[in-house]
A and B are shown apart, each in its own frame.
Chain A
Amino acid sequence: MENVIETKNLNKVFGIGDLAIKALDDVNFHIQKGEFTALVGPSGSGKTTLLNMIGGLDEPTSGNVILDGQDISQLKKSEMTKFRQDHIGFVFQAYNLIPVLSAYENAEFIMLLQNVPAKERKERVYKLLEEVGLKGKEKNKPGEMSGGQQQRVAVVRALAAQPAYILADEPTANLDSKSTSDLLDLMYRLNQEENMTFIFATHDQRVMDRAKRIVYLEDGKIIKDEVH
């Protein structure tokens, strides 16, 4: 199986001297295409830091991050931005849609940055919005939708750009049970049907219950790696 994410001796230290905190301590792990993985652990265990590293948002103190076959330490910042645009989909806890754009416009946004032709953008967005149950809500602004609906738009935004994998940082933290269940169903289905790779950083037991693989972190180290 092809590795979409691989870390080698990954270390991240915040601060210097006596105040230095080791957020990641020699982390070695990989994720293969089609995985549905949860990074779990208590607060401060390093799961968000690891997610930032594999999202190309932060640079390691030492070690390597290889994303979709590319060692990202070799990339300039502008190249990294483009790499994120083309290879990584993000789903955030607070949805983070652009408030002034409609559901449709939010969903097509990354494709616009990628210069995807208008016809193709339209086809992909309508198809995905329909799949996530948001048909008819295309013109709604984020403020006119529920949290669950906004998070589904965020998922469509991430998926529409056809990334190599999707990183989701506590995607269900602000959702009620029904919305959480619906969102997880959606992601699980996309994983099963489209072989889309999902990596979650989460505390949520409901997410862990659905994950095929759970990576446990504590004090910046992987202490357990379970495949269900």
Chain B
Amino acid sequence: MKTLLKISWRNCWKSPLRTGIVIGSIIVGIWSSIFMMGFMDGMMTSRKNNVINTRLGHIQIHSPEYEYDPNILNSVKDREKVIQALENNPHVVGYTDRFVTEGVLKTAREQRGIKINGIDVEKDAATLLISEKADQGSFFGEEFKYPVAVGDKLAKELKLEIGSKVSLSLTKPDSTQTSKNFKVAAIYKSGDAAYDNYNIFVPKEAIYKVIKSDEPIVHEIIVKIDDIEKADEVKAELLKSIKSDEVLTWLEADPYSAYAEDSYGMMMFILMTVIIVALLFGILNTVIMSVLERKREIGVLRSIGMTKKKVWAMITLESLIFGLVGGPLGILTGWATTAYFGKYGFDLSSYGEAMEAYGLDTIVYFNIPVEYYFIYSFLIVIATVIGSLIPAYIATRVNPIEAIRSI
């Protein structure tokens, strides 16, 4: 084996330019795919964190009817029981209960359909980050009796600024309409333009006064837990005591996030497959050329007693050398790049608006799950072995007599 390895290694380097190009292309291919994966994973993680920390939490609890008919009457059915279940669960690190209904926001010139989020500011701030996203003003000071926080995009479109007066219209529990003037106390920027354009925030007590409700009405309880991976487990635990309300994990509560997670996994797989297939054909092509150039040499090896198995092993080793030199270097450079941008971030602020439209941060911190490196390493070995099959087959078919005749 040592001699076969020696022959294979030296044969690989007989044409340094060709070998250099093949190994270089393997390195660049793997590096670029890891870069892309790190970038994509970073964006996905950024979006996921944004969505969870500002909007969804890890778990949401609603009335079962709320998902299909989000009207004021479809509130959480057994709030006390839900709160008790949350208080008793060791994985729950925070929760906030919100009054959520659809309504209309009017200014002197325009009106918009919006979602009104009535929040308990302190409790909400302990669970989600939306109140920290105020770009102007704050959630909520003492200066206004009926304050409202609007999204940056909505504020721009309706030309609102701090102190602007707006009228909110909504349906009361008795199905009659009511309106109340609010003043813009904060303009927030969550990083998701579509969300900012649709969601406004008001203090829960203020909205209760508007609808003249003495009882707390809660439509949505947003829960944060200690580990995102335990969302399903915590949901199952909560469902043991919550019977009349619906418990959803963040992926269930936001179909777009679920779709993004699925499609991201698929994109990673496709990207990896494309690179591995390209690597396979690159190696296949090079080793076939090498075998065809050395047909006579291989014929002579066969004639002096080298078995087909050893010829096969020799060619497989040549193929493996390409993969085992190029693969780790590609992975190493890819890992180093990912680690760098994972620490310092990749600045995309020049594409800020486009990034925000998709709920993404303008600085992307690269990230790749460690298992991807192992999967990649495994696939490289498999690809190089597969890449050697045809050349090895050709090599073992070399007829020693033809080699001697060609002398």
Partner-B contacts on A (CB < 8 A): 48, 52, 55, 57-58, 78, 81-82, 84-86, 90, 92-94, 96, 98-101, 105, 109-110, 112-114, 157-158, 169-170
Contacts and interface: CB of A to CB of B under 8 A. Distances in A.
Given A86-B305, A170-B407, 7 more contacts: A90-B300, A90-B303, A92-B404, A94-B407, A100-B14, A109-B304, A113-B310
A103 to B, nearest CB: 14
Contact of B7 (A58, A92, A93, A100): A100
Contact of B297 (A82, A85, A98, A113): A98
Interface in B359-407: 400-401, 403-405, 407
Nearest to A96: B300
B319 to A, nearest CB: 16
A170 B400 CA distance: 17
A105 B407 contact: no
Residue with the highest number of chain A CB atoms closer than 10 Å, among B11, B297, B302, B303: B303
B407 A82 contact: no
Interface string B339-373: 00000000000000000000000000000000000
B296 interface: yes
A100 B296 contact: no
Contacts of B300: 90, 92, 96
A57 B403 CA distance: 11
A96 B407 contact: yes
B405 A48 contact: yes
A109 B310 CA distance: 13
Nearest to B3: A112
| Shortest beta-carbon contacts, A-B, top 3 | A85-B305, A100-B10, A96-B300
A90 B401 CA distance: 12
Range of interface residues on B (Cβ < 8 Å): 20 to 34
Given A98-B7, A109-B3, A82 B305 contact: yes
A94 B405 CA distance: 11
Contacts of A113: 304-307, 310
Contact of B10 (A57, A58, A96, A101): A101
A123 to B, nearest CB: 18
Contacts of A90: 300, 303-304
18 contacts: A52-B404, A57-B400, A78-B307, A81-B306, A84-B303, A85-B305, A86-B305, A98-B7, A98-B297, A99-B297, A100-B7, A101-B10, A109-B3, A112-B3, A113-B304, A113-B310, A157-B304, A158-B304
A114 B310 CA distance: 12
Contact of A98 (B301, B303, B401, B404): B301
A57 B302 CA distance: 9
Residue with the highest number of chain A CB atoms closer than 10 Å, among B3, B302, B304, B403: B304
Contacts of B403: 96
Contacts of B302: 81
A99 B3 CA distance: 14
Nearest to B310: A113
Contacts of A105: 3, 6
A86 B307 CA distance: 12
A100 B290 CA distance: 13
B106 interface: no
Interface in B3-40: 3, 6-7, 10-11, 14
A34 to B, nearest CB: 23
Interface in B279-302: 296-297, 300-302
B407 A100 contact: no
Contacts of A170: 407
Contacts of B407: 92-94, 96, 169-170
A4 to B, nearest CB: 17
B275 to A, nearest CB: 30
A170 B407 CA distance: 10
A158 B305 CA distance: 11
B3 A100 contact: no
Nearest to B7: A100
A55 B303 contact: yes
Contacts of A82: 305, 307
A100 B308 contact: no
Nearest to A77: B308
Contacts of B305: 81-82, 84-86, 110, 113-114
Nearest to B305: A85
Given A48-B405, A169-B404, A169-B407, A96 B297 contact: yes
A48 B404 CA distance: 9
A203 B401 CA distance: 20
